Structure 1
Amino acid sequence: MNTNVMPRMRQKEKAEMANTKDESSKTTGLTPNEDLPAKTLDEYQCTGNVEIDFPRLCALLDMKDIPAVSTRGQGSSNTETGWKVNDQIALVLQKMLPFLSKLQSLQFWQARLTDEKIISLMNTISLCSSLRHVKLEGNPLPEQSYHLLLSEDSVLNHLFLRNNRMGDEGARLIGLALSTTRSANKNLYTLDLSFNSIGDAGAKHIAQGLRFNRTLTILSLSNNHIGDAGVAHLAATLGEFALTHEEVVERRKLLWETRQSSLQSSFVVDSNRSPADQLPSVLSIPSLSSSKGKKKETDKKGEKPASNKDNQKPSKKPSDVKGPQSKGSKPGGKEKRVPAMEEKSSTILAEQAEETVNPLLDKSVQARDGEIFLPGNTALLSLDLSGNRITEKTLPLFLKSLKWQSEVERGGLIRFPLQRNHFPSNCESNVKIKELIELAFELLFDSENQEEEGQAAL
């Protein structure tokens, strides 16, 4: 009996050893963050490597045909797809993208995205720390939800929406995302809407969005269906333009809110001082009467801005508009405490006017002929309108705005392609437009070269 038991025990030991080897072989090659093979998508710990994470995540979803994903540039700085993004792929991207710390550019070319996928993508993009470029080309959306990528809190700097069959409704939503009287996108520098189906109505909406946006520097509307009626609104936005009644009302609201805020700041109690010390400074308010007098005088004059030269900001060079930082900001300005109430109020008002990014509070606003005129958009450096339906009729409107930009020295267009439209290239207005653009381009780079030479000399 013993001779029969021994072989059986040895066989059992061999089987257990074999099972141990199998288990050890399964766990070899695991990443440091992965002690055991993940069984579900939620359990998987991403490594930050696209070529590793993508196929493994697809396998966890039991995908039979796993598409290849490519990375370009150094490390994993760019990710490009050229296949359909279905529900499973969307889940994989949602899981994987936030772990790509070096991801700077994301491209979806003819990926058959849907409006729901755009919403999901928008939520995922907000978790990507380095992502700044997004290309969604060849992805027509029924509800045209592209504007969701231009939300006020979006971190994208460059957005390419070429060849998406976008119409006037999509342009309307994008125009609202660019700016309203109360909000504006402050991070987007480049917007490519070329090779779409935007017409005159859509161009009007885009122009409306440019009225109060002072961040966008490159805009392409080439190869659309924009005619004279649409570009007339774009031309007006580039030059000095009159505010509508609604915009005038909104400006008055903003001015009132600014004054109210300044008055509240004037009565801020310094916590480092005793109540006895605070009382005289609070009660000694002879300056309030003069402040009220100034306020009434301002209200009587309507919307004419303060003309105090000491408080006016120097004109900015075109190169200044490219930076993402807020214009004219003063660190710690609101935290200053001035003993005299009059000086305190005027200082806060001046600092708030300089810190604001809402063009409705621009100090250069002018009131004449019963209307309020606001300086046009000079932040836009490049506007591509080639391949549209523009005739020679509206070129003088652009010429007028470009002349205004050259006089105010606040930036303006240095690139303005107009080829492949419905006018001869040698017509008088087009020739003059080219001359002004070339001059603006030369002046910009001459000023930059002088600035670099001055810094080198220091």
Structure 2
Amino acid sequence: MSRKKSAKDKTERATVEEDDLMCLDEYQCSGNVEIDFPGLCALLDIEDIPSVSIKHPVSESTTEEEGQEDNQAQVNSPYKPCLQVELENESPLSVKGIKISGWKVDEQIARALTKMLPSLSQLQSLHLYCRFWQARLTDQMVISLMSTISLCSSLRAVAIEGNTLPQQSYHLLLAEDSVITQLSLRNNRIGDEGCRLIGSALSTARSTNKNLLSLNLAFNSIGDAGAAHIAQGLRLNRALLFLSLSNNHIGDSGAAHLAAILGKFALTHEEVVMRRRLLVERAESAPAAQFPTVPSSSSLTHSKGELKGISTKKEASKKEEKTAVSKENTKSVKKTSEAKVPQSKGEKSGIKEKQLSTYEDSSNAILDEQDKEAVEVVNPLLDQSVQHEKGRIFLPGNRTLISLNLSGNRITEKSLPLFLASLEMQGDGGGLSRLCLQRNRFPPDCEPYVKIKELMALREPLEVSSPEPTEEEGQNA
């Protein structure tokens, strides 16, 4: 009897949930959070609906005291569930930021949010801070959130902090097609395994994240293995500008991996194979009409001359073929010009040289444009500044990253010369302008650290007078 009753209860609950979802799907969001959020929660039969607190923009006529009083209710009751909304202007439809702090986001609340967020056309940031309790987001909720973010036209900054996921699904927020530019994942106990997934999301030989500019991984119990995974992800990533790994457990081994990718490093076998494949694909994709007299394989050999799979004999034969084709075309041009207008030998020679020169210039311009596009957009493996040493190919290193925060870790004086060497190798051609190493396990007056600070001061004069980063600073670094 009890089993029949239990099965009946489950059926009834499933029916109720289906009815709620149907009502939720039919609801048309207006873009006004004060109306939509309570309405969606009511449709989902949520009993304790969090209140909505609106933060209005401070106008010129509003004093600082009045602006503080406007949000005093939230300050006086920080433990009460409240959805904090920041407006761009006085219009209730100009929501630019949403913040959830200190209260549990369960599956029903998550459904209401995923339904409402795409209607906020001006929403730029979504912050879920959980400083006192776990947010208890699940892996499935994060997957659903990622799908919702893709529907939000202006949402670029996301912070999910103080939440542990069993399957470490945070790397999905760094997927290759993700539009997020600022991501904060502080205090989520990501650890080394989570860093492995995040490192692969940053870049591999086959894929790379092209949009993320800032990543905060502070307070995540990341050790040397995790730092090595992040360094691996930075090898071919040319988008990330700011990275914080402060207040973790990174020692000299992890620091060495991070220092290595800042300077010149050798390509792995997989990366070399991928580089060759990209070079061949780029040559084959060149439109034949742009090179009427030169075969595409010859163009590749002439412009790059690098593919190791092509022997010297093949290169020589292709050069001869190119010369023969050029001579044949020259004769054709000569016969055509003679047939149309009788000219002297000097005039014919001048026209012939001018035509060949024009063709050569246009061909080089096309190659240069393709090379530029390949380096800047396609893949750093096509970087023309690679170097060949003792049978190996070296990239100049990651010079896109401009800020690296490693403060509050376990780095000793042993690793500092590695950072110094990589920074000196970068020179003035881009690279780090800020390297935070405070609160590690070395004396602040040791020689390599002093030299690093002097070098950073030359690149960023403000660095001299800037205070040491606090634990909270990792959020912005």
TM-score by length of 2: 0.70
Distance change >3 Å, CA 286–CA 63, structure 1 → 2: closer
Question: Matched residues in 2 for 1:341 and 1:174: separation?
Answer: 48
Number of aligned residues: 356
The root-mean-square deviation of aligned C-alpha atoms, in Å, is 2.7
Letter in 2 for 1:354: K
Indicate the residue corresponding to 2:302 in structure 1: 294
Indicate the residue corresponding to 1:353 in structure 2: 371
Equivalent position to 1:57, from 16, 40, 61: 40
Deviations 1:11-64 (A, max 9, x none): xxxxxxxxxxxxxxxxxxxxxxxxxxx992222211101111101111111111
Indicate the residue corresponding to 1:381 in structure 2: 402
Residue 71 of structure 1 aligns to a residue in which SS? strand
How many Å apart are 1:192 and its aligned residue? 0.2
Deviations 1:260-279 (A, max 9, x none): 112xx1247xxxxxxxxxxx
How many Å apart are 1:350 and its aligned residue? 2.3
Residue 90 of structure 1 aligns to a residue in which SS? helix
* Structure 2 residues not aligned, in runs of 5+: 1-20, 52-82, 89-93, 312-355, 464-477
Question: Matched residues in 2 for 1:153 and 1:119: separation?
Answer: 14
Question: Matched residues in 2 for 1:200 and 1:418: separation?
Answer: 16
Deviations 1:350-383 (A, max 9, x none): 2221012311111111112222110111111110
Deviations 1:232-281 (A, max 9, x none): 1100100111111221111111111111112xx1247xxxxxxxxxxxx9
Residue 42 of structure 1 aligns to a residue in which SS? helix
Question: Matched residues in 2 for 1:203 and 1:286: separation?
Answer: 48
Indicate the residue corresponding to 1:230 in structure 2: 254
How many Å apart are 1:405 and its aligned residue? 1.4
Matches within 5 A, 1:132-211: 132-211=156-235
How many Å apart are 1:298 and its aligned residue? 3.7
How many Å apart are 1:349 and its aligned residue? 3.0
Deviations 1:120-162 (A, max 9, x none): 0000000001111111010111111111011111111100000
Deviations 1:421-457 (A, max 9, x none): 111111000000000111011399xxxxxxxxxxxxx
Distance change >3 Å, CA 256–CA 343, structure 1 → 2: farther
Q: Does 1:104 align with 2:128?
A: no
Equivalent position to 2:451, from 407, 419, 432: 432
Indicate the residue corresponding to 1:84 in structure 2: 104
Contact 1:48 1:99 in 2 (8 A): yes
Residue 115 of structure 2 aligns to a residue in which SS? helix
Letter in 2 for 1:368: E
Indicate the residue corresponding to 2:84 in structure 1: 70
Q: Does 1:394 align with 2:419?
A: no
Equivalent position to 1:371, from 380, 392, 405: 392
Letter in 1 for 2:412: T
Question: Matched residues in 1 for 2:390 and 2:28: separation?
Answer: 67
Matches within 5 A, 1:435-446: 435-442=454-461
Question: Matched residues in 1 for 2:297 and 2:281: separation?
Answer: 20
Q: Does 1:215 align with 2:239?
A: yes
Deviations 1:317-364 (A, max 9, x none): xxxxxxxxxxxxxxxxxxxxx998866654433222101231111111
Deviations 1:83-103 (A, max 9, x none): 222121111111100001121
Contact 2:276 2:307 in 1 (8 A): no
How many Å apart are 1:418 and its aligned residue? 0.5
Distance change >3 Å, CA 232–CA 372, structure 1 → 2: same
Question: Matched residues in 1 for 2:380 and 2:222: separation?
Answer: 27
How many Å apart are 1:70 and its aligned residue? 1.6
Distance change >3 Å, CA 61–CA 351, structure 1 → 2: same
Distance change >3 Å, CA 213–CA 52, structure 1 → 2: same
How many Å apart are 1:300 and its aligned residue? 5.5
Deviations 1:177-214 (A, max 9, x none): 11112221111111000000111111111001111111
Question: Matched residues in 2 for 1:232 and 1:382: separation?
Answer: 17
Question: Matched residues in 2 for 1:39 and 1:400: separation?
Answer: 62
Equivalent position to 1:417, from 436, 456, 471: 436
Distance change >3 Å, CA 179–CA 55, structure 1 → 2: same
How many Å apart are 1:112 and its aligned residue? 1.4
Question: Matched residues in 2 for 1:382 and 1:100: separation?
Answer: 32
Residue 128 of structure 2 aligns to a residue in which SS? strand
Equivalent position to 1:259, from 265, 280, 283: 283
Indicate the residue corresponding to 1:404 in structure 2: 425
Distance change >3 Å, CA 340–CA 67, structure 1 → 2: same
Letter in 2 for 1:350: D
How many Å apart are 1:66 and its aligned residue? 0.7
Deviations 1:260-316 (A, max 9, x none): 112xx1247xxxxxxxxxxxx95xx3677964763795446989xxxxxxxxxxxxx
Question: Matched residues in 1 for 2:305 and 2:396: separation?
Answer: 24
Q: Does 1:42 align with 2:61?
A: no
| Identity rate, percent | 62
